[in-house]
Amino acid sequence: MKIVRIEAIPFAVPYRKPLRFASGEVRSADHVLVRVHGEDGLVGVAEAPPRPFTYGETQESIIAVIDRIFAPELVGLTVFEREVMAARMDRTVGNPTAKAAVDMAVWDLLGRSLDVPVSQLLGGYTDRMSVSHMVGFAPDSEMVAEAERMRDTYGITTFKVKVGRRPVSLDVGACRALREGLGPDVELYVDGNRGWKPSEAARALHAMADLDLTLSEELCPADDVLGRRWLTAQTSIPTVADESATRPAEVTRELLGGSANMISIKTARTGFTGSQRVLHLCEGLGTEVVMGNQIDGQVGTACSVVFGAAHRTTSDRAGELSNFLDMSDDLLTEPLQIVGGQMHVRPGPGTGIEIDPDKLAHYRQDA
């Protein structure tokens, strides 16, 4: 089956509250819905979440690169020519979420055309993942209250705490309040979004040594090679590379250079094809991974759980699958559900999701 058309549709859904972290703040999910049309009338879908303060992409740039560069190169290929697609898109540097969304929409179209779930095509290891929830910048009491609500309402017991503020005592205090409020049985780990200097990060980790943190992610700038290497050597808490390891070559550099010893995989950044490359590299090097979140909506979250559940290594840990709860609405006909701290892969062909045409018409920005 050949690809006959590729659409990039801007849409915006407000957040219930601003999401704040060291690298920026978002008040609305200004994303791009990508639809890949097959010649038999089937359509594969995915979403691209712009993160200008991380990858330099905007809603406008994603639409432009898909419409003007990727679509002319990909229309006419069959859904099985994914390596050709990847090679043609890789001629253009950067633009990771645009490339990822096109890739995942093609996989969705492939699954629909074969009447097979994409999770089965990718590996079919399990049908669910445990869920981790991100707690962002707020007064300590509000952070604790949010985590308690997520635990009591959804059964979530793993929390990623955003850090990177100055003075570091702000985040040390927040993590201590979360540990005291939630007790010893809840998993806590931290993500600095590159907000601290290595010396600040080392001081913070030392001050939190008694809190049983399981991971520390991107506490320092991605280009501070020696500082990141020094920091990783200072702590027994595994260092997760996220924004610094967006491609297999960067993963190799971070791991072999001693700047990290775990990798965050984000389907919003590397699609299904690129994420498998990163995962298999990590497995070959004996490196653990965690399924990250690009502040995805429900379309992107569905893709994350599809990939994470498909593989043993990615399903070992709780995946960051709950950020869509901060959005006031979404595009799916049937909202995703978190029950007992887990999310299941949707049954059905492709990624198992359907776009509500009325909601898309309401939230799209080009109509």
- Helices and strands in the chain: count of H runs, count of E runs: 14, 12
Selected catalytic residue, list 171, 217, 254, 320: 217
Tell me whether strands 239-241 and 216-217 are parallel, antiparallel or unpaired.
parallel
Instruction: Spot the catalytic one: 266, 296, 320, 326.
Output: 266
- Catalytic pick among 30, 103, 108, 242: 242
The two three-digit tokens of residue 44, written as one number: 């594969």
Active site residue 288: no
Write down how long the chain is: 367
Residue with tokens 């950067």: 94
Tokens of 232: 């990783």
Judged on CB neighbours under 10 Å (0-12, 13-18, 19+), 53 is middle
7: annotated active-site residue: no
How buried is residue 312: exposed, middle or buried, by Cβ count under 10 Å (0-12/13-18/19+)? Answer: exposed
Question: Which amino acid would we find at residue 140?
Answer: D
Q: Is 217 a catalytic residue?
A: yes
Has 326 been annotated as catalytic?
A: no
Give catalytic status of residue 359 as yes or no. Answer: no
Among 59, 294, 298, 342, the one annotated catalytic: 294
Identify the helix (H) or strand (E) that includes residue 226: helix 225-234
Q: Check if 191 is active-site.
A: yes
Name the residues annotated as catalytic. 162, 191, 217, 242, 266, 294
